[in-house]
Amino acid sequence: MRKRLLPLLLCLLSPLTLWAWGADGHRAVGKIAENHLSRKARREVQRLLGTETLTLVSTWPDEIRYYPEFKETAPWHYVNTPSGLPRDQYIQQVKSQTTANAYSALEAQLRTLGDPNKTQQERAAALKFVVHLVGDIHQPMHTGHAEDKGGNDIKLKYRGRDTNLHSLWDSGLLDYQGLTYTEMAQQYDQKLRGRQIREMQAAAPEQWLWESYQQSEKLYQETPAGTDVDYKYYPAHADLMRQRIVEAGVRLAGLLNNTLG
């Protein structure tokens, strides 16, 4: 019995190490988005998800990505490009990639979500992907370089343990602050004003990716392979981490308000 259970447990646990923002980070994005939904969008979300919430479904695409029937969704979670691209060339590269990526997946899922001719099940699955992919796009290392797998091959030490640049931004910094996703959403979202919200939501997904790409370029330069990340790293980057989670939540709400409202 134990031999049969071990592979199953490994399958269930392995995705947790690769979640962008970690489970709590994705849930904080979903919670912030819930705070900014219009009445119409909120009703439609409830109709599609039933007893589930944006917060709870935010991690679903990571939970199912390793099952054979969802194998094709693995590249939906990131966009890898060469370094040093100017803005127009970067966006052209993102849009012209022939294999699926986070940008093309988000566009496709938004079309499904907004199509009244699709079944409720199809639209609910699309909604879950939209919630998750918006979070992924705002994690800088999900727009990293193909040659190092978005920073996964940039080996570091953090708090005395072996890690890599991608994992540091997926969960290392979030875990360090010791907050639950509800505490994150409450703290990060409390100071937003209407003008800030409108400015965040005015940007298109291409701009979100460009922001993450620019930020990832700086992170690569600051943290080359072999770096022993010290206590100064968290306070130096905490504001950026919070900013990206807030922007993801507010912009997700804007997408859903436009698509479902």
Instruction: Tell me the pLDDT tens digit for each residue of 46-66.
Output: 999 999 999 999 999 999 998
Mean pLDDT in residue range 118-132: 98
The residue range of the domain holding 202 is 2-260
Q: Domain total for the chain?
A: 1
Instruction: Tell me the pLDDT tens digit for each residue of 198-237.
Output: 999 999 999 999 999 999 999 999 999 999 999 999 999 9
The residue ranking higher by pLDDT, 20 or 153, is 153
CATH code, 230: 1.10.575.10
3-state secondary structure the chain: CHHHHHHHHHHHHHHHHHCCCHHHHHHHHHHHHHHCCCHHHHHHHHHHHCCCCHHHHCCHHHHHCCCHHHHHHHHHHCCCCCCCCCHHHHHHHHHHCCCCCHHHHHHHHHHHHCCCCCCHHHHHHHHHHHHHHHHHHCCHHHHCCHHHCCCCCCEEEECCEEEEHHHHHHHHHHHHHCCCHHHHHHHHHCCCCHHHHHHHHHCCHHHHHHHHHHHHHHHHHHCCCCCEECCCHHHHHHHHHHHHHHHHHHHHHHHHHHHHC
